[in-house]
Amino acid sequence: MFNIILFGPPGSGKGTQSQNLIAKYGLKHLSTGDLLRSEIAFQTPLGIEAKNFMDKGQLVPDEVVIGMISTALETNPDAQGFLFDGFPRTDAQAEALDKLLQLKKTSIAVMLALDVSEDELIKRLLHRGQSSGRSDDVDEAVIRSRIHEYENKTKPVADYYKKFNKVVHIKGEGSVDEIFNLLCKEIDDRKNVDD
């Protein structure tokens, strides 16, 4: 099994690059943002609770997202590997993920961290907000709250994986294809060792 975390601030290209990466490597894509938006669309109790946090640009409570990931891992026993997109976003989520993967006798191979400037993030998200229908992309104040949450709670998660020498920083500005090629090179280097 080969498991990757795609890491970075909101708007750094995680969702965009995930689509290309899962197509190339046959990994199961687990995006907590997508899972939460699906719960919201079906108006489940979990979705109604999560929407309150997401609309303010805040992180959803750890127990909610950890439960969702745990279920997703259980329901995909035959996956060749997982691409985690937008998860883990706190130290508690990272520790929970390690335990869940240990139960499956596997671990994270690499955390690929996309680096993008704050001005570029805001520009991208406001642009997406014009067409995405995502309420958290429309208001610049909400976007700034998301970036603030990232700086305070999510960025330190990279330190957790640095202890195990698993973090690689990738320049997340440039064309989608250029960034994709940089990501693939890092994955191929590690996959060849793993195979």
Q: Known catalytic residues? A: 14, 89, 128, 134, 146
Q: Report the C-alpha dihedral over residues 132, 138, 141, 145, rounded to 10 degrees.
A: -20
Output the CA angle 125-131-135, nearest 5 degrees: 65
| 2 versus 180: smaller Cβ distance to ligand B4P | 180
> Residue 129 interacts with ligand B4P (CB under 6 A)?
no
- Closest distance to ligand B4P from the beta carbon of 39 (Å): 11
- Closest distance to ligand B4P from the beta carbon of 194 (Å): 25
Q: Which of residues 92-121 bind ligand B4P (CB under 6 A)?
A: 93
- Which residues lie closer than 8 Å to 144 by C-beta, 6 or more apart? 57, 122
> Residue 182 interacts with ligand B4P (CB under 6 A)?
no
Residues in the chain: 195
Token pair belonging to 111? 């955390």
| 31 versus 168: smaller Cβ distance to ligand B4P | 31
Distances from the Cα of 11 to the Cαs of 74, 94, 106, 163, in angstroms?
29, 21, 29, 26
| 45 versus 193: smaller Cβ distance to ligand B4P | 45
Q: Considering only CA atoms, which of 172, 155, 178 is closest in space to residue 121?
A: 172
Looking at residue 14, the DSSP 8-state letter turns out to be: H
Q: Which of residues 54-93 bind ligand B4P (CB under 6 A)?
A: 54, 58-60, 65, 86-87, 89, 93
> Residue 128 interacts with ligand B4P (CB under 6 A)?
yes
Please give the Cα distance from 84 to 101 (Å, whole number). 12
Residue nearest to ligand B4P (CB): 33
Q: Are 87 and 29 in contact (CB under 8 A)?
A: no
> Residue 33 interacts with ligand B4P (CB under 6 A)?
yes
- Closest distance to ligand B4P from the beta carbon of 192 (Å): 26
- Closest distance to ligand B4P from the beta carbon of 71 (Å): 14
Size of the site for ligand B4P (CB under 6 A): 27
Please give the Cα distance from 66 to 36 (Å, whole number). 12
Q: Which residues in this chain contact ligand B4P in the complex, by CB under 6 A?
A: 10-16, 32-33, 36, 53-54, 58-60, 65, 86-87, 89, 93, 124-125, 128, 136, 146, 176, 179
